[in-house]
Amino acid sequence: MHIPKVKLIGVGGTIASIKTPEGLIPGLNVDRIIRSIPELTNICEIDTFQLMNLDSSNLQPEDWIKIANACIDALNDQTIEGVVVLHGTDTMAHSATAVSFLVRDQNKPIIFTGSQIPFESFGTDARRNIVDSIRVILETDIAETMIVFDSKVYRASRTTKLREYEFNAFETIDPTPIAEIARRIEIIDPFVKRRRNSLAWLDGSINPNVALIRAFPGLKPKMMETLPELGYQGVVISAYGAGNLPTKERSLIKPLRKLLQEGFPVVVTTQCVFGRSELFLYEAGNMLLQMGVISGYDMLSETALIKLMWVLAKTTEMDEIRKLMGKNIAGEIRAKILF
């Protein structure tokens, strides 16, 4: 009888945390966690790998490359059915989104999961999330980079953490999740990517020198002027509404125009979780469009940040940057124009 094998990669986070006088600190390894879910041995073999053990707030863009490479090694192992990454919730969506850009020709599922309560604490949601993740691998033919949490399956590049304490920590900005997990797994998204015969590979790298600035009343234009001095090579601005920024008092037009003239890419997204950047709608946004800013369309601001980091590791040519930012790479762009 063939027993399927699943790769479990440990990164840290609340799920691996233990109580200390200083607070919760990641201290459990993946072997310890899996030994505490003995029922899994009846349905699959677990191949574990402890990549790191960090609070996810300490993860940096360079770590996304390590996670992506570990996932690729597992995907290209013919004995492995899929990958589960145990990760902290604070930056889980960031890491999962980065992996969705970095891993090309993905042939099997990569699932990020974790918990709101540490694995060894009473009432933890860790076991449920791990079992659900493995069920998605064994019971479906989905082959995307996803987040599985609270019986929902989310596309990584369209997901954000909205709640700090509730079990339903994550939400998608799509109308529905990819799938819902109950007695059976119901796949809702008709455009989900399916498994195929291919060899996964690392597509590029990450340039961490990108800033994300949220617009706010009182924002000083000089902040934009200092970005190159600080070593940044691009910026994502999370703007108001449909992509509007101040054009009168404390106008950002002059410093942004200067950045663009110097070949410094400026991407504009919306602060609205459920919304899109439509720069042609209002005068304020249209001025930015005429200057040459790049629309973030309906990407989450953090997704646009990660994507620009990935793009700038590939090219510094503005036309190519604009082309790649407007291309749907990992399902991150749902619609470009709202009529």
Catalytic residue numbers read 14, 89-90, 161
Q: Say if CB 26 and CB 17 are below 8 A apart.
A: yes
User: Is the alpha carbon torsion for 244, 247, 250, 254 positive or negative?
Assistant: positive
Distance of CA 255 to the CA centre of its chain: 30
* Pairing label, strands 185-187, 179-181: antiparallel
Q: Could you tell me how many residues make up the chain?
A: 339
Count CB neighbours of 247 within 10 A: 17
CA distance 92 to 84: 12
CA distance 293 to 331: 22
Cα dihedral 62, 34, 177, 201, rounded to 10, equals 40
Q: Phi, psi at residue 46, to the nearest 5°?
A: -110, 120
